């Protein structure tokens, strides 16, 4: 199995699907928006995009299973699993806020071996595959080398239904306001992660995330030289609903803060 060839196919697929999503921004009506849960939305665009992606990925690796946000296909156990978010940043999309993306990862025996995140509005495709480097639109990318929190710009996401850690989150938030260049919330975890990978952000933290939100982006961060871990410093960030991604220089400081405020 040639992962580089597959990665190119997945990038092309993400761009093709992204073109469809981009056209639908101006066509979306209020009646097209469905509510999955508290402040959790889905549209025909999410569902159609997921079906487009799945139908194409089945041709690339016919034996692979799927972990997909909109459940348009039944999950099956398999050596290879595609992890798909057909539209990460649906709330942005339905409000015409220009930051949303497609996230596609390939796992082999529970380890990610390929990741693609396509930010639709800026036409930026971030990607990496096993034992390779990380790229954006053909250009190699790297995390930053900032050594102290005072020199960083961080990103996060706000919880919209799970408020168990809200008190600790707000304390972390206040710390970041006082001790960094600032804290950004752009509304797509997949984009937050690849922005860490390419050096626009120095670090990112969030909880209550799903595998399809983080699998591809976290892998790209690692291939770009960064560190990714859960709030206890472990590796359960894909399925454990908590993640920190950053450059290696501030990893210890980020973990220390997470342990203080969340664990």
CA 256 to centroid of chain Cα atoms: 23
User: How far is residue 196's CA from residue 241's CA, in Å, rounded to a whole number?
Assistant: 19
User: How far is residue 232's CA from residue 53's CA, in Å, rounded to a whole number?
Assistant: 34
Q: What percent of the chain has pLDDT over 90?
A: 75
Geometric angle at alpha carbon 191, from 187 and 193, rounded to 5°: 115
pLDDT the model gives residue 39: 44
- pLDDT, tens digit, for every residue of 100-110? 999 999 999 98
Radius of gyration of the chain (CA): 17
Rounded to 10 degrees, the C-alpha dihedral 173/179/180/181 comes to 110
Residue 1: pLDDT band by 50, 70, 90 thresholds?
confident
CA-nearest of 157, 203, 198 to 180 is 203
- What is the average pLDDT value for the chain, to the nearest integer? 90
Lowest pLDDT segment from 26-30, 32-36, 87-91, 109-113? 32-36
User: How far is residue 43's CA from residue 66's CA, in Å, rounded to a whole number?
Assistant: 20
Is 41 or 230 the better-scoring residue by pLDDT?
230
Q: For residue 187, how many C-alpha atoms fall within 13 Å in the half-sphere facing its CB?
A: 17
Residue 59: pLDDT band by 50, 70, 90 thresholds?
very high
SS3 124: strand
Helix, strand, coil share (%) of the chain residues, nearest 5: 35, 25, 35
User: How far is residue 135's CA from residue 63's CA, in Å, rounded to a whole number?
Assistant: 27
pLDDT the model gives residue 169: 87
Domain map of the chain by residue range?
3-140, 149-261
CA-nearest of 99, 95, 96, 57 to 78 is 57
pLDDT the model gives residue 38: 46
pLDDT the model gives residue 71: 61
Is 149-261 in CATH node 3.40.190.80? yes
CATH code of the domain occupying 3-140: 3.30.540.10
- pLDDT, tens digit, for every residue of 62-89? 999 999 876 655 666 789 999 999 999 9
- pLDDT, tens digit, for every residue of 110-143? 899 999 999 999 999 999 999 999 999 999 999 9
């Amino acid at each position: 199995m040639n992962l580089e060839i597959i990665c190119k196919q997945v990038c092309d697929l993400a761009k093709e699907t992204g073109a469809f999503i981009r056209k639908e921004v101006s066509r979306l009506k209020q009646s097209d928006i469905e509510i999955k849960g508290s402040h959790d939305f889905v549209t025909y665009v999410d569902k159609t995009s997921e079906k487009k992606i799945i139908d194409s990925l089945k041709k690339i690796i016919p034996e692979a299973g799927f972990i997909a946000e909109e459940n348009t296909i039944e999950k099956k156990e398999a050596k290879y699993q595609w992890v798909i978010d057909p539209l990460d940043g649906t709330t942005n999309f339905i409000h015409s806020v220009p930051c949303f993306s497609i996230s596609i990862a390939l796992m082999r025996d529970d380890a990610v071996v390929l990741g693609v995140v396509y930010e639709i509005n800026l036409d930026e495709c971030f990607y990496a595959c096993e034992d390779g480097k990380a790229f954006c639109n053909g250009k190699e990318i790297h995390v930053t080398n900032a050594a102290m929190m005072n020199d960083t710009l961080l990103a996060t996401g706000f919880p919209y239904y799970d408020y168990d850690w809200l008190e600790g989150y707000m304390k972390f938030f206040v710390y970041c306001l006082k001790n960094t260049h600032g804290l950004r919330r752009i509304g797509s975890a997949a984009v937050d992660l690849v922005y860490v990978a390419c050096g626009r952000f120095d670090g990112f933290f969030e909880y209550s995330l799903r595998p399809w939100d983080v699998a591809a982006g976290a892998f790209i961060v690692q291939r770009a030289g960064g560190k990714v871990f859960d709030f206890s410093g472990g590796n359960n960030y894909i399925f454990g609903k908590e993640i920190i991604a950053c450059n290696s220089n501030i990893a210890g400081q980020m973990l220390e803060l997470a342990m203080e405020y969340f664990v």
